[in-house]
Every structure is written in structure tokens, then in C-alpha cells.
Amino acid sequence: MTSPASPAQAARLMKLATYASVSVAAVLILAKTMAYWQTSSVSILASLVDSLMDSGASLLNLFAVRYALEPADRQHRFGHGKAESIAALAQSAFIIVSGVLLLVEATRRLLNPEPIGAFGVGLAVMLLTIAATAVLLLFQGYVIRRTQSAAIRADALHYRTDLLTNSGVVVALLLAQFGWPGTDPLFAIGAALYILWSARSIMGSAFNELVDRELPDSQRARIIAIAEGHPEVRGVHDLRTRSAGRIDFVEMHLELDGSMPLVKAHRISDEVEAAVIAAMPGADVVIHQDPAGIVEVQQDEQLQ
């Protein structure tokens, strides 16, 4: 299992991942433009349009990640991590646009078929595309495991889509070469629909982070178990969680012995905080101490 990166390592890896993404997108755009010019294949056009959208998304990602990595300041006390979610939301918009444009062109080509030329060039370019995308995805996967970056995860999602669609382009070219020309626009239509469907996952994840959705129930249960695992803690209530980029924010109230000295209560809170951060590296944890039984007292007062 890959260990989480330190903040400095995470920043360096995320920047490298964005530079790699932009570089690969630029190379693939040039190669696919040449291939489409020589073949007139609508499935290659589909891949080219997707790469153009990828390049725009990757450039947006580059600037968003650089901004998200800026430390917290007086105007942004919780940091700049949500810039990653904004970038991911924008990327989903890019993907939707590319899917719609591709669907329109593929439908037109299905109704008005055109022959495919320079088969060898088109096949070679698509195989190069698949190899470059696979290498990039391997690196992005490593970065995601080390950093949990939302923006890099969104970037990797549409490159995984590219890998599938590019593999399909190769199949479409081969079938067209062997007497099945209709597979070229049909595949492009299928690729467009898949691109539109994949945008839903990116958009949903980014939206949840922007509206401060709670962390998954399994993580919340783990936090409570860690806190209640301390021998001096009598209970936990008012647990609130959210994420912003690479940082998880955790707020909770610990119930402690009401006669306990404040200095001891503070020490226990520090110990619980350290335990939570050990389980969730990089988390921002805020703990409030309450006397044990306070929840029941408040509930009784509300009933009176």
C-alpha cells in the first residue's frame, strides 16, 4: 500500500502530474490533427476533439492546483483547497461540450459517409496515443494514491475515458479497413455518449465537496471509534466533517469528566487529535471539551 505523501512531497507530485498532463495533451493534439487530416476518420476526429478538451482542462488544472497548494492566509483561513473542486467542475463542463460536439459530427458522418484514407498513419497515431495515455495514467494513479488530489483524480478520469475511446478507435479503423465503414461513425457516437456519462461522476464529486458534504459514514465511524477509544473520553457528539482539496476538516465535542482540570482536558484533546491525524494524515481537527452528561441535560431542558 502506498503511503501518503508529506505536504511538500504532495505539492511536488501534484505539480509534476499537471505538467505531465499538459505535455501529453499537446503532443497528442498534434499527432491526431495530422492523422485526421490524412484519414478523414470521424472516430479519429472524436479522439482529437477529446484531446482538445483535455488540453484546456489540463491547463485549467495546472493553474487550479498551483492556487490550491497556496498555504492558508488571513483572507483564506481554511486554505485554498476548494480550487481543485472548482477545476474539477469546470473539467466536467469541458467533457460535456466535447461529447455534444462529437455526437453532432458523428451523426452527420453516419448520414453522409466518407471513405477513410491513410489507414497506416491513423493506426500508428492511435497506438502512440494509447501508449502515451497509459503511461500518464500510471503516473497519475501514483500521485492520487500519495496525495488524494481531487483535481488530479478528475484529470485521470477523463484520461481513462480516453484510453477506452482510443482503443475503440483502433477497432473502428480496423473494421472500416476490412469492409465495415459504418463502424467509424457508430463508434464515435458511442464514444460521445460514454464521454457524457463519465462527466456525471466528476461533476458529482466536485459538487459534493463545494457544498461541504459530510465525509463517508465509514470515515465518520472511524473518527468516533478513535475518539471513544481514549480511556478518558466518555462520549462524542456534534461530529462535523468536510473536505477541501487534499484536506479533511473534522470538528467534534468530547465528553469528559466534569471535575477534570482544564489542563488535563486539554491534554486529552491533544491526544485524540493526534490519533485522528495519524489515521487521516493532513486532517485539520478541532475539538471542543464538554462535561460528561451535558447532552442529556440539554435534551431534558428542551423537553421542559
Q: Do 173 and 279 belong together in one domain?
A: no
The residue with greater pLDDT, 118 or 266, is: 266
Q: Do 187 and 237 belong together in one domain?
A: no
Final residue belonging to a domain, choices 182, 210, 238:
210
Final residue belonging to a domain, choices 183, 210, 237:
210
**Alpha-carbon gap, residue 260 to 257, rounded angstroms:** 5
Q: Do 223 and 195 belong together in one domain?
A: no
Final residue belonging to a domain, choices 191, 210, 229:
210
Average pLDDT over the chain, rounded to an integer: 79
Number of structural domains in the chain: 2
Q: Do 236 and 196 belong together in one domain?
A: no
Q: Which residue has the cell 469528559?
A: 256
Banded model confidence at residue 221, pLDDT cuts 50, 70, 90: very high
Does this model's pTM top 0.85? My answer is no
- Domain assignment present for residue 290? The answer is yes
| Residue 49 host element (H or E) | helix 42-68
Q: Do 11 and 51 belong together in one domain?
A: yes
Q: Do 194 and 276 belong together in one domain?
A: no
Q: Do 245 and 200 belong together in one domain?
A: no
- Domain assignment present for residue 14? The answer is yes
Condensed to tens digits (0 to 9), the pLDDT of residues 130-188 reads: 899 899 999 988 988 888 776 677 778 768 877 777 787 787 778 777 777 667 777 77
**Alpha-carbon gap, residue 240 to 286, rounded angstroms:** 10
Q: Do 76 and 34 belong together in one domain?
A: yes
- Domain assignment present for residue 2? The answer is no
- Domain assignment present for residue 266? The answer is yes
Q: Do 141 and 12 belong together in one domain?
A: yes
- Domain assignment present for residue 105? The answer is yes
- Cell digits of residue 253: 465535542
CATH number at residue 98: 1.20.1510.10
Tell me the three state secondary structure of residue 110.
Answer: helix
Q: Do 131 and 274 belong together in one domain?
A: no
Q: Do 192 and 287 belong together in one domain?
A: no
Q: Do 155 and 288 belong together in one domain?
A: no
- Domain assignment present for residue 1? The answer is no
> Which of 19-28, 53-62, 133-142 is modeled with the greatest confidence?
133-142
The parent domain of residue 283 ranges over 217-303
CATH number at residue 242: 3.30.70.1350
| Residue 236 host element (H or E) | strand 235-244
> At residue 192, does pLDDT exceed 80?
no
> Which of 43-57, 128-142, 205-219, 283-297 is modeled with the greatest confidence?
128-142
- Domain assignment present for residue 275? The answer is yes
**Alpha-carbon gap, residue 301 to 295, rounded angstroms:** 10
